[in-house]
Amino acid sequence: MKYEEVDGICAFSFNLFGGKPVKARVLTRNGGISLTPWNSLNLGGTVGDEPQHVAENKNRVMQAYRLDLEGVFDVWQVHSADWVYATNHRRVNEPHQRADIIITDKPGLTLMMRFADCVPLFVYDPINHASGMAHAGWQGTLKNVAGMLVKAMKEKFASQPESLLAGIGPAICMEHYPVGVETFAQFKELPGCAEESAVSTSNGSHHLDLKKINELQFRLAGVNTVENSSMCTACQEELWFSHRRDKGRTGRFGAFIQLDTVMK
């Protein structure tokens, strides 16, 4: 991934979307106005931060990236594998739909999600000029969110998995992600996980590499081109919010994807 700073907003972009008519960014925690422990670019509205601060943070992101505040579609992320086809922005006072996958083929519409350790997933279909994003924590990963995202793109836009470009953003690393023995047992059974060392046991504690498991799921769904971030949200406190590291007292960093308008 590539670091950038735009009008004080610090973010990363994927190398594989470079030069493509799509804008995808994972925003860091830097460039906002929220106070500790939400410092500073918190976009989470339900984590105890001042609503005015969250609103101002969102404003700054919109302005920096020349996005239309009235052109955002977001969801209530519930650790599901359910998807929504977004055709229009979510209006003020319109309740969030519950879902963890959003897809669109509408240029100019900004799909947005929030993270603090869970895995941000992005796809772009250069043939059909369509895109999608998803939120994959351990529950979503167990439900194969990455595979469902690909399936949704196939169903709605006739995307061919082998032509999709997939990006996996910063998320918690294996070392920082111990899980209970029952959770671990379920992941051990998933295709490829044990063989590819995406799960590990050391000194009696059980760990998951969520980013790697999501990459495996993309590949099993037929996606060949995957860029997987090496960054860990818990390791890099200066860049990311981490739910595990901060024991729940933390913010959410944002991520978005938006299709450019192109001549068809």
- Which of positions 114-173 make contact with Zn ion (CB under 5 A)? 173
Q: Which is nearer to Zn ion, 144 or 229 (CB)?
A: 229
Residue 244 lies near Zn ion (rule: CB under 5 A): no
- Which of positions 165-194 make contact with Zn ion (CB under 5 A)? 173, 176
Least distance from Zn ion to the Cβ atom of residue 230, Å = 10
Least distance from Zn ion to the Cβ atom of residue 31, Å = 22
Q: Which is nearer to Zn ion, 20 or 176 (CB)?
A: 176
Q: Which is nearer to Zn ion, 205 or 224 (CB)?
A: 205
Least distance from Zn ion to the Cβ atom of residue 237, Å = 10
Q: Which is nearer to Zn ion, 33 or 235 (CB)?
A: 235
Least distance from Zn ion to the Cβ atom of residue 233, Å = 7
- Which of positions 8-47 make contact with Zn ion (CB under 5 A)? none
What are the C-alpha distances in Å from 47 to residues 115, 238, 241? 12, 19, 12
User: Residues touching Zn ion: how many (CB under 5 A)?
Assistant: 5
- Which of positions 213-242 make contact with Zn ion (CB under 5 A)? 232, 234-235
Q: Which is nearer to Zn ion, 52 or 197 (CB)?
A: 197
Least distance from Zn ion to the Cβ atom of residue 178, Å = 11
If one counts every other C-beta atom within 10 angstroms of the C-beta of residue 120, the result is 27
Least distance from Zn ion to the Cβ atom of residue 235, Å = 3
State the residues that interact with Zn ion by CB under 5 A: 173, 176, 232, 234-235
